[in-house]
Structure 1
């Protein structure tokens, strides 16, 4: 767990956008945290933030921080409907990751990504380089450059810690608490609904046809499997997203197949294309789940740690009830 080295000492009103009752968006006292092996220091609450991909974007928008954003990038799915209006007010810097020059041109005072790749030299550039320019660059603890510096296993408690930490850095801790409380309530309800799924074996099928990429340990699917009592048929894989084989999948014959519905348009990306392939491929057409149409669909982006991950728990919990009926 990342630790707060210097907590926010005070939040004093200094104008700015209207806020919710009980919360103040103001200049936070200097705050320094250890984040993925680097020190991230915020001298005042950011007001010119750039999010480098959609998961980070939707977390800031969910915290009501659209007016503090001067850029976003790398939209992988349609933005959540509840956030669409706010999203349209934020400049899009690039279809994929913005280059370092585009980032600096926007004059940010904070960068945020939930993927390490956003800070690659051929993308926005290393976090340390931005820190040297006085721009704090935050990275999700699930995606540290050195995995030993972060969270090896995704848990919802750790995801909620990240949301609270980001809210604190922006001087809106009350909003973080409120968002986490809402997410926690939905999570608990979904888990309670899905308790009858204990012992059900499941394949988490992410992408690909000739080589299927599936969920192994440590990621969002593993966390959901634990919460709902599912037996992940690739739970013995060391990697979070290993390359599977249809022969192994056939031998393990899952009761249910959870399909990632990806919008990028590649081979075996959409849920519909996955189902079509599973039904025509001789190696999979006789699977118990395929013969019984026991498919559960979740959005692809919800299978990464994000504000959508609770959506995935709800979708799987509800879907399991449907395919068992």
Structure 2
């Protein structure tokens, strides 16, 4: 198999589909004024009240920022932060021009950066910016007079730091719907959700129901243990709707580390690589080389047969790219006989 061609084809397909679906994303509609009555939504299974319509929203990470762009909320944003490794996300994004027109606040989501931006609404998630180790938490956001909104895919389970409280696509749809309510663009949010549901249904219609489904492993990185996606991360449902079975579907967590023994145990037939290069040691090719060199992984069907496909990071975390990624992965699996 020409691995590079497969990787590029997947990336190009996702970008093409999303470019079409993103058309009109900046079309505005009547919305509440900043002085209007409050909006209350449910976020991480708790009520969240937002006083008026935010006019200085700040986001962290590419997938989260793209949700704002998909809803046409660029003018309501004071800026976004991301990371150096996410350049490929921005370059491949259907909303690339929006990343260029909205202010970049750099690659550090710190208290200093947030305070300097003076936001009234901060959209991030646990391990997507919110961390006790940096002091940037939802409680701290409230202490500076802004409203924190948590990425639903990364909501913490009660009494634990494990993440994920509902199915990943439901998390995406809930966040889009909530943002539509908060920012007064409910019609746009409803249209997006309907469009995404329809695309997912079309992709799932070609998937095998039981027999013939591929066993799929998500490989993010290895430092030194493999980092992968559990039941509550976006790839689990991306894989399921595309017609495969995530080998870590029984892991009640989002993104997390596992052992090489566990990764190889069920003999994955396809491996999905998360593409976010942070240097020569973290490119897609270097990740493939790692899999080939690892004694247990080298014997798996996926590595032996070269059934390896890569997608940009923003396509595999909760984001408006998820439905197109399902379509692209479904086509890849069908091409491999699954």
Q: TM-score range by the shorter chain?
A: 0.7 to 0.9
Match of 1:24 in 2: 30
Are 1:225 and 2:239 counterparts?
A: yes
Which range moved further: 170-179 or 275-284?
Answer: 275-284
Are 1:86 and 2:98 counterparts?
A: yes
Which of 189, 199, 206 is 1:186 aligned to?
Answer: 199
Q: Distance in 1 between matches of 2:74 and 2:167?
A: 27
Which of 53, 64, 77 is 2:72 aligned to?
Answer: 64
Change (3 A) 1:148 1:228: farther
Match of 1:44 in 2: 52
Report the TM-score when normalising by structure 2: 0.78
Match of 1:177 in 2: 190
Match of 1:3 in 2: none
Deviation at 1:145, TM superposition (A): 5.0
Whether contact under 8 Å (2:164, 2:232) holds in the other structure is: no
Q: Distance in 2 between matches of 1:208 and 1:256?
A: 18
Deviation at 1:71, TM superposition (A): 1.3
User: What is the SS of the residue equivalent to 2:166?
Assistant: coil
Deviation at 1:184, TM superposition (A): 1.8
Whether contact under 8 Å (1:296, 1:320) holds in the other structure is: no
The root-mean-square deviation of aligned C-alpha atoms, in Å, is 2.9
Change (3 A) 1:33 1:265: same
Match of 1:163 in 2: 176
Deviation at 1:296, TM superposition (A): 2.4
Q: Distance in 1 between matches of 2:300 and 2:132?
A: 44
Match of 2:108 in 1: 96
User: What is the SS of the residue equivalent to 2:336?
Assistant: helix
Deviation at 1:55, TM superposition (A): 2.1
Q: Distance in 2 between matches of 1:113 and 1:152?
A: 16
Q: Which runs of 5+ in 2 are unaligned?
A: 1-25
Deviation at 1:147, TM superposition (A): 4.2
Report the TM-score when normalising by structure 1: 0.81
Deviation at 1:138, TM superposition (A): 0.9
Q: Distance in 1 between matches of 2:46 and 2:253?
A: 25
Change (3 A) 1:248 1:171: closer
User: What is the SS of the residue equivalent to 1:78?
Assistant: helix
Whether contact under 8 Å (2:214, 2:270) holds in the other structure is: yes
Match of 1:74 in 2: 82
Q: For the pair shown, which has the larger CA radius of gyration, 1 or 2? A: 1
Are 1:259 and 2:267 counterparts?
A: no
Q: Distance in 2 between matches of 1:26 and 1:115?
A: 29
Q: Distance in 2 between matches of 1:291 and 1:247?
A: 17
Deviations 1:83-111 (A, max 9, x none): 111221211222121x3233233232211
Deviation at 1:288, TM superposition (A): 1.9
Task: State how 1:127-138 maps to structure 2 within 5 Å.
Answer: 127-138=138-149
Whether contact under 8 Å (1:164, 1:177) holds in the other structure is: yes
